[in-house]
C-alpha cells in the first residue's frame, strides 16, 4: 500500500499562488484586506493534493460517533507513525512524553478522567520554565491526544518548553459545555504546575474556541496567569443560518460561511445553535479589553476564515497586541492533512515563530 509520502511524490510544493483581491470593507472598523466576498482560488499545490488523495470522491456516511472517532484517531496515528519514522524522526529524540489521566471532581458533575499528554525536553533543566497548554481540534466531535501530536512535539523541541496536550469529552455523547468544562478544569490544574516563565494557551479549530473561552474566563477573573494565546483556524462564533446569530457589529464583515469557502476538508459548520456552549463564544464577548497578546493563523479558503479575522480585528480594536498570519489559497488546518507540502511546513514554522513571540 502506498504511503502518504509516496502519494505526495511529484506534487507541486510551490508556495506562490495567484494574486488575491480583497473585497471592499463593509464596516469601517474592519481592515478591508481581511474581507472576501467570495473565496479566492485554491492553491495549485492543494488541488494536486486533493487529486492524489481523491479527497473529492464520495465518502461513506458513518453515523456511529464511536466509529467516526476511531477512524479519525487511526488515520492520525498512521500518519504520525509514518512521519516520525521518516522526515520527522528528530521529533522522537530528546523529548520525554508521558500520558496521565486528570481526575475531574466537581459537585455539579460525575467524576471522570481527562486524558493529558505531557511533552518535556529531555534536556530539561531549571532553564525550562515556559509552559504551553494545547487543545486539539475536531469540531468537538473527534480528536484525541494523537491528533496533533507532531505539532506539540515541535513546540516542545524547538522552543524548549513543557507542553501539555489536553483532550475533552465530545459530542454527541456529551455537550459542548462538557468539553469546555473539561478544558477549563485541565487548564486550571496545569496552570498550578508553572513556577516561573510564561504560560501560553493554544487551540486549533474547535480547540481554538476552547482556548479563546479560557483566555476570556481568566480575563474576567482579572487574572494575569495567561501570557499569550495562539489560535489556528479558530472557531469563534456561530455564523450559520445566514449569520442570524452573529453579533450585529460583525454581520456585514463575516463573509466566509458560504459555499465558495467550502472545501474537501471542511464543507459545513460543525458548530450551530443547537450544539454550542451556553457560555459566550469568543467573538460574542462585548468587552475584550485587557486581553493578553494573541497570535492567530487563518486560511482564506475556510468557512471559519472570518471567525479568526474578525476576532483578530476585535481584539486589536480593544487594545490587545495581535499578530495575524494568513495562508492565502489554502483550506482549514491544511497543515495537518497535507504535512509534506512546502506550504504546510511553512505554516508550522510560522506558528513556531508566533509562539516564540508570545513566550518572549
pLDDT digits (tens, 9 = 90+) for 61-108: 889 999 999 999 999 999 999 999 999 999 999 999 999 999 997 776
User: Residue 180: is its pLDDT beyond 60?
Assistant: yes
Residue 162 has pLDDT above 60, yes or no: yes
According to DSSP, the residues that pair with 17 across neighbouring strands are: none
Highest mean pLDDT among 25-29, 60-64, 161-165: 161-165
Q: What is the pLDDT of residue 303?
A: 98
The mean pLDDT value for 12-23 works out to 39
pLDDT at 30 over 80: no
Mean local confidence (pLDDT), 255-282: 96
pLDDT band at 195 (very low <50, low <70, confident <90, very high): confident
8 A C-beta contact, residue 121 and residue 97: no
Q: Tell me, what's the pLDDT at 2?
A: 64
Mean pLDDT computed over 237-248: 95
Higher pLDDT, 219 or 10: 219
State which H helix or E strand residue 8 sits in. helix 4-8
Site of grid cell 508550522: 348
Q: Span 261-284, mean pLDDT?
A: 96
Topology (CATH level 3) of domain 35-55+65-359: Rossmann fold (3.40.50)
**What separation in angstroms does the CA of 288 have from each of 28, 41, 163, 284, 314?**
19, 33, 27, 10, 8
Give the model confidence (pLDDT) of 112-125 as tens digits: 999 999 999 987 55
126 pLDDT higher than 80: no
User: Given a cut of 70, is residue 16 above it in pLDDT?
Assistant: no
**CA torsion through residues 83, 100, 142, 309, sign:** negative
Q: DSSP character for 108?
A: T
Residue 353: predicted pLDDT: 98
- CA-to-CA distance for 349 and 164, rounded, in angstroms? 20
Cis amide leading into 172 (omega within 30) = yes
Q: Is the pLDDT of residue 58 over 80?
A: yes
Q: Please check the confidence at residue 17 and state whether its pLDDT lies above 90.
A: no
Average pLDDT over every residue of 230-242: 97
> What's the pLDDT band for 10 if we cut at 50, 70, 90?
low
Q: Is 53 exposed, middle or buried (0-12, 13-18, 19+ CB in 10 A)?
A: middle
Residue 26: predicted pLDDT? 34
Are the C-beta atoms of 324 and 312 separated by less than 8 Å? yes
Average pLDDT of the chain to the nearest whole number: 91
Choice between 30 and 216, residue whose per-residue pLDDT is larger: 216
* pLDDT at 173 > cutoff 70: yes
Q: Taking 50 as the threshold, does the pLDDT of residue 20 lie above it?
A: no
Give me the percent of the chain exceeding a pLDDT of 70. Answer: 90
Separation between Cα atoms, residue 254 and residue 34, nearest integer Å: 10
Q: Give the model's pLDDT for residue 240.
A: 97
Amino acid at each position: 500500500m502506498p504511503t502518504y509520502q509516496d502519494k505526495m511524490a511529484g506534487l507541486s510544493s510551490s508556495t506562490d499562488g495567484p494574486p488575491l483581491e480583497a473585497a471592499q470593507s463593509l464596516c469601517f472598523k474592519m481592515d478591508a484586506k481581511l474581507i472576501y466576498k467570495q473565496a479566492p482560488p485554491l492553491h495549485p499545490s492543494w488541488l494536486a493534493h486533493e487529486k492524489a488523495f481523491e479527497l473529492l470522491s464520495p465518502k461513506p456516511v458513518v453515523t456511529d460517533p464511536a466509529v467516526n472517532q476511531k477512524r479519525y484517531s487511526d488515520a492520525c496515528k498512521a500518519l504520525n507513525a509514518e512521519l516520525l519514522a521518516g522526515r520527522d524522526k528528530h521529533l522522537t529524540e530528546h523529548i520525554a512524553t508521558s500520558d496521565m489521566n486528570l481526575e475531574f471532581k466537581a459537585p455539579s458533575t460525575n467524576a471522570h478522567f481527562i486524558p493529558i499528554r505531557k511533552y518535556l525536553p529531555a534536556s530539561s533543566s531549571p532553564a525550562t520554565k515556559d509552559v504551553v497548554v494545547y487543545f486539539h481540534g475536531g469540531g468537538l466531535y473527534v480528536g484525541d491526544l494523537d491528533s496533533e501530536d507532531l505539532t506539540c512535539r515541535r513546540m516542545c523541541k524547538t522552543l524548549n518548553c513543557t507542553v501539555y496536550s489536553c483532550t475533552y469529552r465530545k459530542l454527541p455523547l456529551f455537550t459542548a459545555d462538557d468539553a469546555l468544562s473539561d478544558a477549563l478544569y485541565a487548564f486550571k490544574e496545569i496552570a498550578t504546575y508553572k513556577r516561573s516563565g510564561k504560560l501560553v494557551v493554544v487551540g486549533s479549530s474547535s480547540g481554538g474556541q476552547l482556548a479563546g473561552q479560557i483566555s476570556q474566563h481568566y480575563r474576567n477573573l482579572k487574572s494575569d496567569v495567561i501570557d499569550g494565546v495562539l489560535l489556528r483556524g479558530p472557531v469563534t462564533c456561530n455564523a450559520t443560518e445566514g449569520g442570524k446569530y452573529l453579533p450585529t457589529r460583525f454581520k456585514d464583515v463575516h463573509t466566509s460561511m458560504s459555499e465558495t469557502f467550502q472545501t474537501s476538508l471542511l464543507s459545513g459548520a460543525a458548530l450551530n445553535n443547537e450544539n454550542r456552549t451556553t457560555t459566550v463564544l469568543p467573538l460574542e464577548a462585548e468587552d475584550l479589553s485587557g486581553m493578553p497578546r494573541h497570535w492567530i493563523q487563518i486560511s482564506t479558503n475556510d468557512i471559519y476564515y472570518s471567525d479568526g479575522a474578525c476576532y483578530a480585528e476585535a481584539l486589536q480594536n480593544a487594545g490587545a497586541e495581535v499578530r495575524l498570519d494568513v495562508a492565502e489559497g489554502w483550506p482549514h488546518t491544511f497543515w495537518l492533512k497535507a504535512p509534506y507540502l512546502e506550504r504546510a511546513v511553512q505554516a508550522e514554522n510560522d506558528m513556531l515563530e508566533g509562539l516564540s513571540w508570545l513566550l518572549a
